[in-house]
């Protein structure tokens, strides 16, 4: 029977961890992810799990603990944000290239500098090409559900996984949530039984060896193939999860896209505000829609193109600055996905919400108004745009 509760996103992740009972957690506190190891350490202290909690001196060390534990055959978890994730940078690639299925809760927060503790996606987007699967949540329910699906995906693909949520907006805000029973979660996630690990005495193994030229590229190709095949596993796990929860997941969510003439593409909690804006525009007879990306790595290129193939104008919203001088990271992926369409929509980019800047229904109305102007004139105009910042001030 489902359990109805009220929880913050951070508490929901810690609760899911409790239900899974991982072998090792290496963690170092950083706002706004600190509550996750804090809640979970209480479960350990109360004897509700038998996880080995390793309190370390930095996030670099936290990931080192997870790498060592995973290489030894243990199920390893951690949580971090912002500069903490940046301090792990070197080891993110080590974990991925070593094909270690580490599960990391990332509570998205702006990267310094200047120092800012509020939400945007600059931290996880900055490490998007390190070889980790990345799944994003709109609300607390999705945070919980994504975390439960993480290990069956990661351990099958032998790739580490980030389960991302928006700092403070979901991590600290309390929402109604439906939890699964402990035994249901345990059965769904299952036991971790790696085929190869350091403590397997009858099979000598090296983890993280020196990759000489005759082998390095083959290793990277194997990683790339694993990421390509991860999409199929993500969908099969989502299908199995629907059977135990009644909640359906895929690569993305299509919201009122079936006959939309214009649409926005967005990641994370801002999608909820966007849906309200779409509803208001629909009530006024305007054919607006929204595509909420859930899985960013691997990027579902063909599926995104198919979902947007009937739309005439698209605005891709990036909560991270790419500093490419031509748009943000989500825009680069979506525009590339649309390239092969014979009748592709006009496509523009908005960088928004940096450092916690508000995004409102009015923000979306402005964006849809500019999409309507593109439809009216047939002229795209400036492609790379920012919205929500003050103008004319130093």
CA distances from 231 to 47, 154, 168 (A): 37, 11, 29
Give the percent of the chain with pLDDT over 90: 96
Q: Are 320 and 120 in contact (CB under 8 A)?
A: yes
Query: What are all long-range contacts of 126-129, with beta carbons under 8 Å and residues at least 24 apart?
Result: 126/85, 126/86, 126/320, 127/85, 127/89, 127/92, 128/296, 128/297, 128/329
pLDDT at 393 over 60: no
Residue 337 to residue 331: CA distance in whole angstroms: 10
pLDDT at 70 over 70: yes
Across 175-189, average pLDDT: 98
Which residues pair with residue 316 across a beta bridge? 265, 349
pLDDT digits (tens, 9 = 90+) for 135-147: 999 999 999 999 9
- Kindly report the number of other CB atoms within 10 A of residue 239's CB atom: 12
Q: How confident is the model at residue 73 (pLDDT cuts 50, 70, 90)?
A: very high
pTM: 0.97
pLDDT at 274 over 90: yes
Residue 60 to residue 89: CA distance in whole angstroms: 8
Q: How confident is the model at residue 308 (pLDDT cuts 50, 70, 90)?
A: very high
| Phi, psi dihedrals of residue 33, rounded to the nearest 5° | -95, -5
Residue 222 to residue 110: CA distance in whole angstroms: 32
Q: How confident is the model at residue 250 (pLDDT cuts 50, 70, 90)?
A: very high
Residue 137 to residue 126: CA distance in whole angstroms: 18
**Token digits for 107?**
């509570």
Residue 79 to residue 107: CA distance in whole angstroms: 8
pLDDT of amino acid 392? 63
What does the mean pLDDT of the chain come to? 97
């Amino acid at each position: 029977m489902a359990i109805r509760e009220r929880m913050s996103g951070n508490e929901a992740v810690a609760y899911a961890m409790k239900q899974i009972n991982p072998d090792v957690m290496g963690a170092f506190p950083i706002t706004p992810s600190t509550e996750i190891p804090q809640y979970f350490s209480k479960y350990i202290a109360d004897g509700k799990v038998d996880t080995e909690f390793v309190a370390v001196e930095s996030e670099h060390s936290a990931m080192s603990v997870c790498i060592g534990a995973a290489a030894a055959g243990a199920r390893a978890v951690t949580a971090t944000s912002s500069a903490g994730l940046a301090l792990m940078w070197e080891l993110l690639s080590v974990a991925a290239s070593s094909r270690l299925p580490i599960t990391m809760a990332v509570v998205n927060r702006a990267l310094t500098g200047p120092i800012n503790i509020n939400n945007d996606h600059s931290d996880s987007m900055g490490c998007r090409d390190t070889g980790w699967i990345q799944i994003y949540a709109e609300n607390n329910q999705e945070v919980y559900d994504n975390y439960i699906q993480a290990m069956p995906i990661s351990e099958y693909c032998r790739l580490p996984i980030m389960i991302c949520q928006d700092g403070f907006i979901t991590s600290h805000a309390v929402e109604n949530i439906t939890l699964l029973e402990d035994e249901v979660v345990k059965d769904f996630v299952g036991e971790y039984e790696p085929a190869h690990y350091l403590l397997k005495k009858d099979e000598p193994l090296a983890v993280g060896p020196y990759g000489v030229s005759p082998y390095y590229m083959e290793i990277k190709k194997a990683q790339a193939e694993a990421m390509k095949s991860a999409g199929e596993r993500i969908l099969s796990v989502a299908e199995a999860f629907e059977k135990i929860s009644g909640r359906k997941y895929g690569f993305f969510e299509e919201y009122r896209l079936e006959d939309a003439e214009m649409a926005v593409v967005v990641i994370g909690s801002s999608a909820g505000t966007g849906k309200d804006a779409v509803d208001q525009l629909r009530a006024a007879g305007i054919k607006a829609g929204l595509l909420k990306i859930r899985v960013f790595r691997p990027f579902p290129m063909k599926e995104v193109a198919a979902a947007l193939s009937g739309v005439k104008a698209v605005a891709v919203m990036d909560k991270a600055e790419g500093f490419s001088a031509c748009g943000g990271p989500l825009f680069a992926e979506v525009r590339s996905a649309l390239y092969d369409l014979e009748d592709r929509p006009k496509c523009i980019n908005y960088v928004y919400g940096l450092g916690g800047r508000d995004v409102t229904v009015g923000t979306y109305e402005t964006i849809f108004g500019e999409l309507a102007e593109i439809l009216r004139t047939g002229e795209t105009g400036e492609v790379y745009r920012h919205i929500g910042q003050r103008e004319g001030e130093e």
